[in-house]
Chains A and B, each alone.
Chain A
Amino acid sequence: MHVGRSTPRKEGRSKVTGQARYVDDLALPGMLHGVTVRSASPRGLIRDIRYAPGIPWDDVVVVTAADIPGANVVALINDDQPYLADGRVNHAEEPVVLLAHRDRSLLEEARRRVTIEIEPLPPVYTIEESLAAREIIWGTDNTFKKYLVSRGDVDAALADAVTIVEGEYETGAQEQLYIEPNGMLAVARREDGVTVWGSMQCPYYVHRAIERLFNLPTERIRVVQMETGGGFGGKEEYPSILAGHAALLAWKSGRPVKIVYDRAEDMVATTKRHPSRTRHRTAVTKDGRLLAMDIDFVIDGGAYSTLSPVVLSRGTIHAPGPYYCPNVRVRGRAVATNVPPHGAFRGFGAPQSIFALERHMDRVAAAIDMPPAELRRKNFIQTGQTSAVGQVMRDPIDMPALLDRALELSDYHARRARFDASNAAASLKKGIGFAAFMHGAGFTGSGEDHLASVVTLEATVEGRVRVLTSCTEIGQGTNTVFSQIAADALGIDVAAIDIVQPDTASVPDSGPTVASRTCMIVGKLVESAALNLRTTLDGAMGGNKDFTSACREYIQQIGPLRASSQYHAPAGARWSDERYEGDAYGTYAWAVYVAEVTIDMTTCEVQLDDFVALQEVGRVINPVLATGQIEGGVAQGIGWTLFERVVWRDGRMANAQMTNYIMPTSMDLPPIRVFFEETPYEHGPGGAKGIGELPMDGAAPAIANAVSHAAGVSITEIPITPERLMALMEIAVA
């Protein structure tokens, strides 16, 4: 058996020796480099584009919207975002002109000599300005999408309640900061079609976007994923834009064109985590029973809708958290602003709404003078209960046990009491806090039905088995986990499994590599395709030959040995898009995270002393990889909470450098102690659930609760920079 063991990373050797090939490591004969000329203005009408003398312009490939052979639309959910601005711009850094040349330094000079003259229109920069709708910048009301979840009678419950606790919470934008910037290499010729190689999570998203952009039949497009140096959502939708840009330059020039962003361009121009604002009104009894939760959740989508409708959906559904409450209303809205579009980032809306909820739960507990753990314990959702969107929770859930174990592992009760006793006079104040949460795995609602993902396995005469899937390895361990699952289902060694490089010319559409779906949803397809292949083989050759000879004889005597599997929802699962109600996710992972902090009262710096991450994620396929996923997600959560502040100036990121946008280094993190509970999930491969996004949800509220405990102030906004904390404490003192 391989599942449950820490099989070493499949492509580990190529990575530790520097042999792994990323897109910037590719070069083709006659290749040109491409750059993007962007809008300096946040909103306005393009009046002129001028090319200043001093550059041999005849020798530079220039592409504008007028050169686009198909639709000037980045195909995703809505058709509102152009590949190249045509007539108007809606955010700073919006692409307007593309240039290509073989000499990169000349190209850089050429970029500086293009002037885009823009007649300004009034911009909208914040959620509040967008909601006020004095200036309409998108649709009729600046709103990309709205959802309403309504269960019970919230207004009646609030009217009757003795105790109502209100709160407002904000989270900032966050840069994904994969260490490999976005990059694409394209070859495009009228007679052959378009091929792109690049850094990406979702080859078929890119494929479909190129199809629309060039108006070409699908078989004349080929998208190949190169080794990808991190994604975290930042390479979910944006690569479709960059691939299109490289392909447009290649189409016009007839030469291969590569565009690799430098760090500053990647930070300033590509997507980030949606900023959010959440308001809570909660009715609670004196003995700590939740009577009503009224939640208003708003995210800032930026200038175009991109993935905001689905980010909003996940954030809305996760907003009431792992609790049962008879009366719940969640109003979710994604609104437009004139900043570069915000997009996918690990957690996808859930970290924002869970931060608000889990900070708020501590404040509700304080309002009724109840320990935070006791309030949670009284309200955890249980197996058989119905969630706010009407999902009957069928799988086993034991949040009280998770809470007990996490508090024990962190020595929570003793430490909280000790810190309470010693903090008053201390110049270093200590605090401990926790967050309880869940994360749904796979696409929301009917998403997986619409994707109808496919995986194919193919055996060779050498007795090797090739896994064909469009799910990408981006560091999270796809190659290794799929190999383990396939090997066990086939009854062969993991070394005999080959994962085929994702290439839309050869792999089926297994859906995108997002939403904690790769292991649970697509891994299950790998498992069932492997079982199909083994059944076919054994049926034809008898079960007693060794695998290699059986494969060889089958292929020689009968023909190719392949098996596929396609996603079908588990029996009984139901979701209504119209009513926005039903089984929102196949299942959920559950967790309790505990953070311990020290605040230096002189500098207001927060130091993390300990972090416990306990989760129930179904069966753990590969303990080392799973632990690495949790630690990495927690580290990103810590960055979002304490260090990573996007400074906005006139709709642009002003700190688009690693020098002043600060992600955690090896010196900044506490020991991250990871623990698993394993309750096998019936419909996951070997019993596994989704895992990738979960760890992003818990760090922010756990740390904010710990800081609030230590400082004696209520944190309502992240990142908790020393400046922000100092201001809060000064208000508290004054």
Chain B
Amino acid sequence: MTRLLDALRDLHLTGVKEGCGEGECGACSILLDGRLVNSCLVPLIQAGRAVIVTIEGVAQGERLHAVQEAFIARGGAQCGICTPGMVLAAVSLLERNPHPNDAEIRAGLAGNLCRCTGYMRIFDAVLDACRRLDNDSR
């Protein structure tokens, strides 16, 4: 069985990372028809006709997404290995809930493990991204 994770990486979409291969860490997170999923748990055959967004598709050309800018500004990325999945989790959260509170941010990122940051800079980055998105839409 080919996993969606392997198929994406074979397409040189190597921003999709394998951290555990059992759906625990979220490093392989992608958006599949707009939903955040662990691509290590999705058989390729189930992804037929789906619209898939990986980290490679989050920035518009050279222009970073507000979440990406906020992660850089607020120290949300350290070693970077969880970052693609974490950024997608944050993008997905803010699409569903543009103004999450602390508990909602924590719950929204609960499927993505980070061993470096202790999450605090990531929470800060998500709040910062909310402000950036508000300013953009004004």
B47: interface (CB < 8 Å): no
Which B residue's beta carbon lies closest to that of A230? Answer: B79
Interface string of B103-117 (1 = CB under 8 A from A): 001110110111111
Cβ-defined contact, A635 with B118, below 8 A: yes
Interface string of B22-36 (1 = CB under 8 A from A): 101101000000000
Which residues of chain A have C-beta atoms less than 8 A from B21's C-beta? 262-263
Cβ-defined contact, B22 with A657, below 8 A: yes
Which residues of chain A have C-beta atoms less than 8 A from B83's C-beta? 15-16, 18
A227: interface (CB < 8 Å): yes
B87: interface (CB < 8 Å): yes
Interface string of A660-691 (1 = CB under 8 A from B): 00011111010110000000000000000000
B48 to chain A, nearest CB (A): 22
Interface pick from A282-290, A530-538, A625-633: A625-633
61-92 of chain B: CB within 8 A of chain A = 64, 68, 71-84, 87
Cβ-defined contact, A227 with B80, below 8 A: yes
Which residues of chain A have C-beta atoms less than 8 A from B84's C-beta? 16, 18
Cβ-defined contact, B79 with A18, below 8 A: no
A13: interface (CB < 8 Å): yes
Residue of B19, B81, B117 contacting most chain A CB atoms (<10 Å): B81
Interface string of A464-495 (1 = CB under 8 A from B): 00000000001111000000000000000000
Cβ-defined contact, B55 with A230, below 8 A: no
Cβ-defined contact, B110 with A667, below 8 A: yes
Which residues of chain B have C-beta atoms less than 8 A from A624's C-beta? 74-75, 121
Cβ-defined contact, A627 with B121, below 8 A: yes
A351 to chain B, nearest CB (A): 16
When chains A and B are docked, how far (Å) is the Cα of A475 from the Cα of B105? Answer: 23
Which A residue's beta carbon lies closest to that of B74? Answer: A624
Chain B's interface: helix, strand, loop or mixed, by majority?
loop
When chains A and B are docked, how far (Å) is the Cα of A178 from the Cα of B110? Answer: 17
A504: interface (CB < 8 Å): no
Cβ-defined contact, A12 with B121, below 8 A: no
Cβ-defined contact, A16 with B72, below 8 A: yes
Which residues of chain A have C-beta atoms less than 8 A from B118's C-beta? 628, 631-636, 664, 669, 672
A11: interface (CB < 8 Å): yes
Do A666 and B72 form a contact, CB below 8 Å, given A15-B77, A19-B15, A230-B79? no
When chains A and B are docked, how far (Å) is the Cα of A658 from the Cα of B27? Answer: 13
Do A178 and B115 form a contact, CB below 8 Å, given A628-B121, A658-B22? yes
Do A632 and B116 form a contact, CB below 8 Å, given A22-B17, A658-B22? yes
Cβ-defined contact, A16 with B75, below 8 A: no
Cβ-defined contact, B64 with A636, below 8 A: no
Which residues of chain A have C-beta atoms less than 8 A from B87's C-beta? 16
Do A659 and B78 form a contact, CB below 8 Å, given A16-B87, A17-B64? no
Which residues of chain B have C-beta atoms less than 8 A from A15's C-beta? 77, 80, 83
When chains A and B are docked, how far (Å) is the Cα of A22 from the Cα of B56? Answer: 15
Cβ-defined contact, B119 with A179, below 8 A: no
B55 to chain A, nearest CB (A): 4
Cβ-defined contact, A13 with B64, below 8 A: yes
When chains A and B are docked, how far (Å) is the Cα of A15 from the Cα of B27? Answer: 13
B133: interface (CB < 8 Å): no
A20: interface (CB < 8 Å): yes
Cβ-defined contact, A663 with B75, below 8 A: no
B38 to chain A, nearest CB (A): 12
Do A232 and B72 form a contact, CB below 8 Å, given A16-B83, A18-B15, A18-B56? no
A581: interface (CB < 8 Å): no
Residue of B74, B79, B109, B114 contacting most chain A CB atoms (<10 Å): B79
Which residues of chain A have C-beta atoms less than 8 A from B13's C-beta? 18
Which B residue's beta carbon lies closest to that of A263? Answer: B20
Do A628 and B78 form a contact, CB below 8 Å, given A18-B55, A658-B22? yes
618-661 of chain A: CB within 8 A of chain B = 624-625, 627-628, 631-636, 657-659
B132 to chain A, nearest CB (A): 13
Do A628 and B117 form a contact, CB below 8 Å, given A9-B77, A20-B80, A178-B79? yes
A177: interface (CB < 8 Å): yes
B15 to chain A, nearest CB (A): 2
Interface string of A18-36 (1 = CB under 8 A from B): 1111101100000000000
Interface string of B49-64 (1 = CB under 8 A from A): 0000011101100001
When chains A and B are docked, how far (Å) is the Cα of A625 from the Cα of B75? Answer: 6
A181 to chain B, nearest CB (A): 8
Cβ-defined contact, A658 with B120, below 8 A: no
B117 to chain A, nearest CB (A): 5
Interface string of A177-201 (1 = CB under 8 A from B): 1111100000000000000000000
Which residues of chain A have C-beta atoms less than 8 A from B123's C-beta? 666
B75 interface neighbour in A9, A177, A262, A667, Cβ under 8 Å: A9
Which residues of chain B have C-beta atoms less than 8 A from A230's C-beta? 78-79, 81, 115-116
A456: interface (CB < 8 Å): no
When chains A and B are docked, how far (Å) is the Cα of A634 from the Cα of B117? Answer: 9
A228: interface (CB < 8 Å): yes
When chains A and B are docked, how far (Å) is the Cα of A330 from the Cα of B120? Answer: 38
Cβ-defined contact, A16 with B115, below 8 A: no
B73 to chain A, nearest CB (A): 6
A390: interface (CB < 8 Å): no
A621 to chain B, nearest CB (A): 13
Which residues of chain A have C-beta atoms less than 8 A from B110's C-beta? 665-667
When chains A and B are docked, how far (Å) is the Cα of A666 from the Cα of B106? Answer: 5
Residue of B24, B55, B58 contacting most chain A CB atoms (<10 Å): B24
Do A18 and B54 form a contact, CB below 8 Å, given A13-B64, A263-B20, A631-B118? yes
A372: interface (CB < 8 Å): no
Which residues of chain B have C-beta atoms less than 8 A from A13's C-beta? 64, 68, 72
A8: interface (CB < 8 Å): yes
Which residues of chain A have C-beta atoms less than 8 A from B15's C-beta? 17-19
B110 to chain A, nearest CB (A): 5
Cβ-defined contact, A475 with B116, below 8 A: yes
A326: interface (CB < 8 Å): no
A229 interface neighbour in B54, B58, B72, B81, Cβ under 8 Å: B81
Which residues of chain A have C-beta atoms less than 8 A from B76's C-beta? 16
Cβ-defined contact, A635 with B55, below 8 A: no
When chains A and B are docked, how far (Å) is the Cα of A631 from the Cα of B118? Answer: 5
Which A residue's beta carbon lies closest to that of B84? Answer: A18
When chains A and B are docked, how far (Å) is the Cα of A633 from the Cα of B18? Answer: 23
Do A179 and B82 form a contact, CB below 8 Å, given A263-B19, A631-B117, A666-B109? yes
13 pairs, CB–CB < 8 Å, chain A vs chain B: A13-B64, A18-B13, A178-B79, A178-B115, A263-B20, A475-B79, A475-B116, A627-B121, A628-B118, A632-B117, A632-B118, A634-B118, A666-B114
Question: Besides A179-B82, A635-B118, 14 other CB < 8 A contacts?
Answer: A6-B75, A12-B72, A15-B83, A18-B84, A24-B18, A177-B115, A229-B17, A230-B81, A263-B22, A627-B121, A632-B78, A632-B116, A658-B24, A669-B118
The 5 lowest CB-CB distance pairs between A and B, nearest first, are: A18-B15, A475-B79, A229-B81, A635-B118, A15-B80
Chain A residues in the interface with B (C-beta under 8 A): 6, 8-9, 11-22, 24-25, 176-181, 227-232, 262-263, 474-477, 624-625, 627-628, 631-636, 657-659, 663-667, 669, 671-672
Chain B residues in the interface with A (C-beta under 8 A): 13-22, 24-25, 27, 54-56, 58-59, 64, 68, 71-84, 87, 105-107, 109-110, 112-123
